[in-house]
Chain A
Amino acid sequence: MWGFLPRLKGTLRRMNILIIEDEPKTGEYLRQGLREAGFVVDLATRGNDGLHLALEGQHDLVILDVMLPELDGWQVLKGLRSMGRQMPVLFLTARDQVEDRVRGLELGADDYLVKPFSFAELLARVRVILRRGRPEQAVATLHLADLELDLLRRRVLRAGKRVDLTAKEFGLLELLMRRQGEVLPRSLIASQVWDLNFDSDTNVIDVAVRRLRAKVDEGFEPRLIHTVRGMGYVMEIPEVNA
């Protein structure tokens, strides 16, 4: 019933992800979650196994825990880069020390997440990284069902009727439309739409989405903006319930 599985276009190659994580539960759940999100996933629990797998295989992304037995995350990353592997790397760290970030980014990590993180957040970041480097479709309009977003004239039509949105509401809708089918966590929405890069303990995002929904969805069928409890928001045409 939840729609955070992306609607994979048939032609799209399935992305390969390698997880190197020594904590068995974390590793297993990440593998399951990413598999169910449509990725091909390998899992290694030790640093040198992970490095070996990464050098052998063709992974589009490596998710790397910093604290690993034998080779730690930094060393694995160094090893990868020294062998000329330039695939993006996302770091998982339990320490959010500034030095860690600087060090990771200096070594060529593409992003990092501090534990505890939410899976929705991880998934959203993974997609951002994998989308990088691929040219964003230079489209003038975004469509979903009978909702149309005119990016040039910054106009929104639902079932042919004009919907008036504020600038921030338009930004929010654009984000949801561009990432349709993906569950977007609140923190990601706050950072993308309002450029607010810390977890705020307010319900601002909920209120903003509720107001947007009132304008875009109320009185129309099908409903397009959905709440995924415990995870975030997703925009999609709901599957017809059997």
Chain B
Amino acid sequence: MSGGLRLTLTARLTLLFTAVLLAVLCGLGAMVTLANQAHFVDLDRDYLTDKAALVRKVVAGSTNLDQMSQRLQELLQSHTGLTVRLEQAQQTLYGEPADTFPGDLVSTTGRLEPSDWTWDGSLLRGAAVALPTPVFLGGEAAPSLRLLLAMDTHHHIHFMQELQRSLLLYLLTAGLASGLLAWWAARRGLAPLRDMRERARRVTANQLDARMPVDSVPVEMAELAQALNTMLERLQRDFQRLSDFSSDLAHELRTPISNLLTQTQVTLAQPRDAASYCDTLASNAEEFQRMGRMVSDMLLLAKTEHGLALPHRGPVALHEAAQSLFDFFDVVAEEKGVTLVLEGQATIQGDPLMLQRAISNLLSNAIRHAPEHSRVRVSVSNPDNTASLCVDNAGPPIAPEHLARLFDRFYRVDKSRAHLNPDGTGLGLAITRAIMEAHGGTVSLASTTEHTRFCLRFPAA
């Protein structure tokens, strides 16, 4: 809108098209003019050659000077605009005085090469021709005759001026017309762009479902529309994720906050002994710790889901990571009589702390759900350089409707909170998935009638 010359696309196209057309027409005009001028030169040469031949014939056929003059007079008087001079050694034999012609006019015997000059206000074109000297003027021994011919070219000039004027007029008209046409064409051609603009204008945070037309626009713009649509889809997905994220968080915090508030207010409602105050505070502290962990986990999720680069990348031996986690979970497993088994080995590139965390979530999950006196097996393998780590535990099948959603934030198979891991935040598997995605890998879950198997798969090294 402001600052400098910022033309609309329509104006640009119109100007460009008109300029190109004018350039082409100017070229054409110049060519026509040049061709005409060349043609006139040819015509004039023929005319002059023709006249020179006539004069030569008269000179050759005459027997004395008077007869020649008289015959030339008869022959040439009807040719208006033609100026003739016949001379011998600068002496006029017939015709106009010598100063009509320029002094440096060179006589030729072959093809005439006419030159242009002005004399007495008229534009002349002429040439000089050498003629054999007739007998009555001394024959071959005497100086040769020189014939000077010139014609007035004002009618050519007139014609050329007329031509140029009409060419210019045509140029202006054509320029104007083509400008209008170009403007119309550009507007029509750019109509899909305006359509896209209108659609884009309607896109807001709450209406991200608008899409650009792809099939109805020209091919070049279809790519742009496609790219915009991909962008919109991504935005919509991310936006949805973000709003889900906040609502999930708010929802999950509502229950513990309401518990804390109720418990605190009930405790405050009447005087109690120190022990019950302590009890309430301690229980509150536990709940606060859980909430604090939930917030930290949500932050971690937010960061990993938004493609935060892995802070520390280095070689991670998956079997060693699993083994050190075995040391940690040993006591819990032993309590349940669960045996931890590790098979295979593989080393990948990744963030050691993050990966340890991802594996830890799977392991604690497996131990929690494994029946007593069963086995939890961690198998690491590295076929074709694509490493994987799978955690198996015996257990009842998981219903198919839960399988895919189990990695969602706060998703619980058992909706009642009674069976919940009291220390859990409901984010463990979601964090595992986010960590795997940050590593370019995947996490999958397979459930059979007797086994549950989580697998972490890493991209090819």
Contact = CB atoms under 8 A, between A and B. Distances in A.
Given A118-B289, A203-B332, A204-B328, A197 B281 contact: no
A211 B331 contact: yes
Interface string B333-361: 00100000000000000000100110010
A195 interface: yes
A118 B282 CA distance: 13
Contact of B282 (A195, A201, A202, A230): A230
User: Among the interface residues B281, B296, B299, B324, which one has the most CB atoms of the partner chain A within 10 A?
Assistant: B296
B423 A207 contact: no
Interface in A214-242: 229-231
B311 interface: yes
Given A211-B331, A230-B283, A201 B292 contact: no
A194 interface: yes
B293 A199 contact: yes
A70 to B, nearest CB: 28
Nearest to B352: A197
B284 A230 contact: yes
Contacts of B284: 230
Nearest to B422: A203
B374 to A, nearest CB: 18
A114 interface: yes
B258 to A, nearest CB: 19
Nearest to A185: B289
Contacts of A190: 328
B428 interface: yes
Given A190-B328, A202-B329, A202-B364, A196 B295 contact: no
A168 interface: yes
A231 B288 CA distance: 11
A200 interface: yes
Nearest to A228: B282
Contact of A201 (B281, B331, B353, B421): B421
A133 interface: no
B328 A194 contact: yes
B356 A196 contact: yes
Contact of A202 (B289, B311, B324, B332): B332
A32 to B, nearest CB: 14
A128 interface: no
Given A194-B328, A195-B324, A230 B421 contact: no
A168 B332 CA distance: 13
Q: How large is the interface on A (under 10, 10 to 19, 20 to 34, 35 or more residues)?
A: 20 to 34
Interface string B260-286: 000000000000000000110111111
A168 B292 contact: no
Nearest to B292: A116
B109 to A, nearest CB: 97
A207 B328 CA distance: 11
Contacts of A36: none
B424 A168 contact: no
Contacts of A230: 281-286, 289
B333 to A, nearest CB: 10
Nearest to A231: B285
A204 B332 CA distance: 6
Interface string B282-317: 111110110011011001000000000001000000
Q: How large is the interface on B (under 10, 10 to 19, 20 to 34, 35 or more residues)?
A: 35 or more
B327 A197 contact: no
A27 B449 CA distance: 56
Contacts of A96: 296, 299
A116 B285 contact: no
B408 interface: no
Interface in A91-135: 96, 98, 114, 116-118
A208 interface: yes
B425 interface: yes
B392 to A, nearest CB: 19
A201 B425 contact: yes
B330 interface: yes
Contacts of B295: 116
A188 to B, nearest CB: 13
B293 A207 contact: no
A211 B324 CA distance: 20
Contacts of B331: 168, 204, 207-208, 211
Contacts of B425: 201
Contacts of A116: 288, 292, 295-296
A37 B330 CA distance: 34
User: Among the interface residues B281, B293, B422, which one has the most CB atoms of the partner chain A within 10 A?
Assistant: B293
Contacts of A231: 285
User: Among the interface residues A197, A199, A201, A231, which one has the most CB atoms of the partner chain B within 10 A?
Assistant: A201
Nearest to B308: A98
A202 B368 CA distance: 9
Contacts of A200: 328, 360, 364
User: Among the interface residues B292, B328, B421, which one has the most CB atoms of the partner chain A within 10 A?
Assistant: B328
Nearest to A95: B299
A209 B56 CA distance: 138
Contacts of B332: 202-204, 207
Interface string B423-441: 1110010000000000000
B292 A229 contact: no
B330 A168 contact: yes
A198 B356 contact: yes
B281 A203 contact: no
Contacts of B360: 196, 198, 200
Interface of A: 1, 96, 98, 114, 116-118, 168, 190, 194-204, 207-208, 211, 229-231
28 contacts: A96-B296, A98-B311, A118-B289, A190-B328, A194-B324, A194-B327, A194-B328, A196-B324, A198-B357, A199-B293, A200-B364, A201-B364, A201-B421, A201-B424, A201-B425, A202-B332, A202-B364, A202-B421, A203-B332, A203-B423, A204-B331, A207-B331, A208-B331, A211-B335, A229-B278, A230-B281, A230-B283, A231-B285
Given A114-B296, A116-B295, A211-B331, 18 more contacts: A116-B288, A116-B296, A195-B324, A198-B353, A199-B296, A200-B328, A200-B364, A201-B428, A202-B332, A202-B421, A203-B332, A204-B331, A204-B364, A207-B331, A211-B335, A229-B279, A229-B286, A230-B282
Nearest 6 CB-CB pairings of A with B: A230-B285, A229-B282, A116-B292, A230-B282, A98-B311, A194-B328
